[in-house]
Amino acid sequence: MTLTIPGFDQIRLPGADGVELAAAVAGSGSPVVLLHGFPQTHLMWRHVAERLADEHTVICPDLRGYGASDKPAATGPDVYAKRTMAADVVTLAAALGHERFALVGHDRGALVAFRAGLDHPETITHLGILDIVPTLDMWNVLHGTSAAVGYHLFLMAQPPGLPEAMIAGSADAFFGSFFDAWANDPSSMPEEVRAEYLRASAAAVTSIVADYRASAGIDVIHDQADLDAGSQLAMPVTVVQQDWGAQLGYDAAGVWQAWAPDLEHRLTGAGHFMAEEAPDEIATVIRGLLAR
């Protein structure tokens, strides 16, 4: 049985190009869309979403290629481009009656949120980013032996065939390794939740790899075009990260300032899965963003 957020309605609505997205929805008030990361589903937002639903309409989709959402074949580079995945989110929100909304993303979902902020500035009112730098910057800061922390990025950037076969052959070990390596507080992810993430990820190997492969190709092209054009995020932006700058040797706040003039950059002592490890902190940060 698929786990979801208690008390939230489960819906399916079209995204871009007729792809259907599954989402959990609850609450009333100004809309906030929460996008999950890898290797997870919308369930990662369960604690934060419940806290925000007292004051907001909270929408938690599974990204295309993940969870219970459609997993279209990657017949071209645009199918899992963050531009396409951002259009999914905008289309879904519009189907729910929300032409403008706040958007918060974690990990892969944060890359989608970043692209949505650049492509749809008239739609995204506030932008929250958890524990990433933009795709173009991500590749630029990974160098030397410190790049080993992102080995999966390089693996899934390879041509179709070998990455999918390797990961599918040991899916639980592969996906589970990220929970083991990236969580500061393993107790924040109960066994049944971890099992749900592993089940959902094992069922989506091909589409997850396609998502990552896009970030070594078409997503870089899109980011570079925006950088060359001087494009920036027009809305208030809050970024919460672990201290990756110190670990990898770059100025994380400076990277984000170049994209987001109206920026609040914060470091957290929580691990990568911060929405589960520190839901009060993350919910408070989101409320602060929405008040700007």
CA triplet 148, 266, 211: central angle to 5 degrees? Answer: 45
How would you classify the pairing of strands 237-241 and 124-130? parallel
Q: What backbone phi and psi angles, to 5 degrees, belong to 187?
A: -65, -15
The whole-angstrom separation of Cα 73 and Cα 76 is: 9
Residue 13 has a CB neighbour count (10 Å cut-off) of 18
Per-residue pLDDT at 247 exceeds 90: no
CA triplet 110, 175, 92: central angle to 5 degrees? Answer: 35
Give pLDDT tens digits for 45-57.
999 999 999 999 9
* Cα separation values, 256 from 76, 112, 133, 212, 263, Å: 30, 16, 7, 21, 8
Give the rounded percent of residues in the chain with a pLDDT score beyond 70: 100
The amino acid present at 44, given as its one-letter code, is M
Question: How sure is the predictor about 245, in pLDDT bands with cuts at 50, 70 and 90?
Answer: confident
Per-residue pLDDT at 2 exceeds 90: no
Q: Which CATH superfamily is domain 9-291 in?
A: Alpha/Beta hydrolase fold, catalytic domain (3.40.50.1820)
Give the model's pLDDT for residue 211: 98
Residue 55: Cβ-neighbour burial (10 angstroms; 0-12, 13-18, 19+): middle
Average confidence (pLDDT) over 140-154: 92
Residue 27 · residue 52 · CB < 8 Å: yes
Question: How sure is the predictor about 252, in pLDDT bands with cuts at 50, 70 and 90?
Answer: very high
Q: Which residue has the higher pLDDT, 268 or 248?
A: 268
Show the tokens assigned to 168.
Answer: 């599918």
The whole-angstrom separation of Cα 33 and Cα 22 is: 13
Domain spans of the chain, in order of start:
9-291
Per-residue pLDDT at 75 exceeds 90: yes
Average confidence (pLDDT) over 146-173: 96
How would you classify the pairing of strands 57-61 and 31-35? parallel
Give the model's pLDDT for residue 146: 87
Residue 291: Cβ-neighbour burial (10 angstroms; 0-12, 13-18, 19+): exposed
CA triplet 203, 142, 42: central angle to 5 degrees? Answer: 30
What pTM was computed for the model? 0.97
From the candidates 42, 47, 152, 272, give the one annotated as an active-site residue: 272
Q: Is 201 helix (H, G, I), strand (E, B) or coil?
A: helix
Find tokens 């970024």 and name the residue: 239
Residue 102 · residue 31 · CB < 8 Å: yes
Show the tokens assigned to 110.
Answer: 């944060």
Number of helices (H), then strands (E), belonging to the chain: the values are 14, 8
Proportion of the chain in helix, strand, coil states, percent, rounded to 5: 50, 15, 35
Per-residue pLDDT at 1 exceeds 80: no
Per-residue pLDDT at 285 exceeds 80: yes
231, 232, 216: which is closest to 80 by C-alpha?
216
The whole-angstrom separation of Cα 247 and Cα 174 is: 23
Q: What is the mean pLDDT of the chain?
A: 96
Give the model's pLDDT for residue 143: 87
How would you classify the pairing of strands 9-14 and 20-26? antiparallel
Give pLDDT tens digits for 17-63.
999 999 999 999 999 999 999 999 999 999 999 999 999 999 999 99
From the candidates 62, 70, 107, 219, give the one annotated as an active-site residue: 107
Is 126 catalytic? The answer is no
Give pLDDT tens digits for 97-121.
999 999 999 999 999 999 999 999 9
